[in-house]
Chain A
Amino acid sequence: MNLSQNWRLAEQRYRLVGEICPHCGVKIYPPRDACPDCSQPAQERFTFSGKGEIYSYTVVLDAPEGYEEQVPYLIALVKLDEGPMLTAQLTDFDREPEIGDRVEMVTRKLRTEGNAGIIVYGYKFRPLLMP
């Protein structure tokens, strides 16, 4: 992904800004401007708390280009407390995660693009510190 593509996503990556549908009230992440439930326009911003639980997880052992240094790393589907699910890396786990574990968002380095390239920051999820 290039610089501008990453820049446009700053609000999502750093603050988990999604949307709430003004018609049916469903909370939406990632944002898409049309409600996935009722198909009505949905452009009202909603900031998620960043807390949720692990819905599923795995470990990446064969990484795609740009992620080789991080191997092995945990990937999870995280179900946010407000409803939607997202995909993110798990971090700060010193044990095997389990489905249902409570987690919270932290901002971490997602990848670097070589010595001269950009450094992409965004969300990862760690075990909930203060339950």
Chain B
Amino acid sequence: MRDVCLIGIGQTPIGEKWDLSLRHLAFSALTAAAADAGIERPDALFVGNMLASRLNDQAQLGALIADFCGWRGIEAVTVEAACASGGAALQAAIRAVASGAADTAAVCGVEKMTDGSKVETAGALATAADAEYEGIHGVTFVALNALLMQRYMHEYHVPHEAFAPFSINAHHNAINNPNAMFQEELTLQTYLKAPVIAPPINLYDSSPICDGAAAVIVASIEVARDLPGTTPVHVLASASATDSLNLDDRHDLLSLNAARLSAQKAYQQAGLVPADMDLFEVHDAFSIMAALSLEAAGFADRGRAAYMAQDGEIGLNGRIPISTMGGLKARGHPVGATGVYEVVDLVTQLRGEAGANQVKGARLGMTQNIGGTGATVITHILGI
């Protein structure tokens, strides 16, 4: 396997984009990434998407998007792993280039969620759970995360307000991200007064339903060397692991085992430890997921992540900055696109292009992309 780097990034603003279709969103992100890399046509395209078959009546996004970008003829497929689809598509692209099967590969995470009604979207998202043993009981994704949070608060004696710093930090960082959905501060008072959507989860514990697309161009080191003006970011690890699809089937409900396994594999591949990371783009679809992911990836002891956030350790100047451009909570969570947005944000930081949100001296960083309630977890470590 040869060394691989990321040479281009692109993204659309996230929000309710009623004037843009799925293919237009993908086109916008991909052409920006290709222009950023200085390439005209990649050898392959990997699309990360979860809901298009259900909410947009559209399958075979690989061919659709390749053609729409003017790349008819290239190899192109969709990769699906619920909310981890974007990370999974990136992993497929990295492996295609590392193996020598392609010299350049484009990755596009894209999701168009707001065309469906709230009820249709809730039903579509619930397909990431076990249809026969969870879905049939009327479970939603908010409810599954609420079951985790309720147990976490019970077992570790953590009050609900202890989770506020995750959302406050994400909103604060989104203010300087023009692509973020919520570019506004969140105060503790607003968090505490927010309507409950599935107890104990309130509106501000939860990421929004939204549209968006993000893209990355993956290339071999040789290709990158021949492209003047690019700043290659090196892929130091790409690791994936699984757990039971059902939340109820976990050996240890609060351990998020796939997150732990994929992080351990990633540290091993890169020859690094958690303390080496300058920032961590965490999968904060819900504040409880941010806490569990920080614990599983080795940044906090069990039951301590919320207190670590309260102590300011997750801020841009903290021990391990997270959600540095707003995270899923405030940048937005177009589900199948999220894993690619996380990587675009990390690349922005490592290139030193994060403006007011720049993590000083950032040279090594990690992303973790979580599918479902932790059934598929994909971890990437990048360095410059």
Contacts and interface: CB of A to CB of B under 8 A. Distances in A.
Is B one of A's binding partners?
Answer: yes
Interface of A: 1, 5-6, 9, 12, 30, 36, 55-68, 70, 73, 75-77, 84-89, 99, 110-111, 120, 122
B138 A65 contact: no
Given A58-B146, A58-B147, A5 B137 contact: no
B92 to A, nearest CB: 27
Contacts, number: 113
A102 to B, nearest CB: 16
Contacts of B143: 58, 60, 75
B246 A30 contact: yes
Contacts of A68: 119
Interface stretch (B103-111, B176-184, B216-224, B247-255): B247-255
Interface residues on B, range: 35 or more
Nearest to B126: A64
Contacts of A9: 132
A29 to B, nearest CB: 9
B133 A59 contact: no
A86 B246 CA distance: 9
B275 interface: no
- Count chain B CB atoms within 10 A of each CB in A1, A65, A85, A120 and give the residue with the most: A65
Contacts of B201: 58
B64 interface: no
A75 B119 CA distance: 18
B137 A62 contact: no
B244 A56 contact: no
Contacts of A55: 151, 253
Contacts of B197: 61-62
11 contacts: A5-B131, A12-B133, A58-B146, A59-B199, A65-B122, A75-B138, A75-B139, A75-B147, A77-B151, A77-B248, A85-B253
A10 B100 CA distance: 50
A58 B136 contact: no
Given A75-B143, A85-B248, A61 B198 contact: yes
A111 B135 CA distance: 11
B123 interface: yes
B134 interface: yes
B140 interface: yes
A70 B138 CA distance: 9
Contacts of B79: none
Interface string B234-250: 00000000001011110
B72 interface: no
B137 A59 contact: no
Interface in B184-219: 196-201
A64 B123 CA distance: 4
A110 to B, nearest CB: 6
B247 A77 contact: yes
Contact of A87 (B142, B151, B246): B246
B3 interface: no
Contact of B133 (A62, A65, A87, A99): A87
Contacts of A111: 136, 138
B198 A63 contact: no
A122 B133 contact: no
B154 interface: yes
Interface string B253-294: 100000000000000000000000000000000000000000
B150 A99 contact: yes
B138 A60 contact: yes
Q: Which 8 A-B pairs rank lowest in CB-CB distance, beginning with the nearest?
A: A58-B146, A64-B123, A67-B138, A56-B151, A65-B123, A85-B248, A56-B147, A64-B122
A89 B137 contact: yes
B119 A73 contact: no
Contact of A58 (B118, B122, B154, B199): B199
Given A5-B132, A59-B198, A63-B140, 7 more contacts: A30-B133, A58-B146, A60-B139, A60-B140, A65-B120, A75-B147, A84-B249
Interface in B138-192: 138-140, 142-143, 146-148, 150-151, 154
B148 A56 contact: yes
Contacts of B137: 75, 87-89, 110, 122
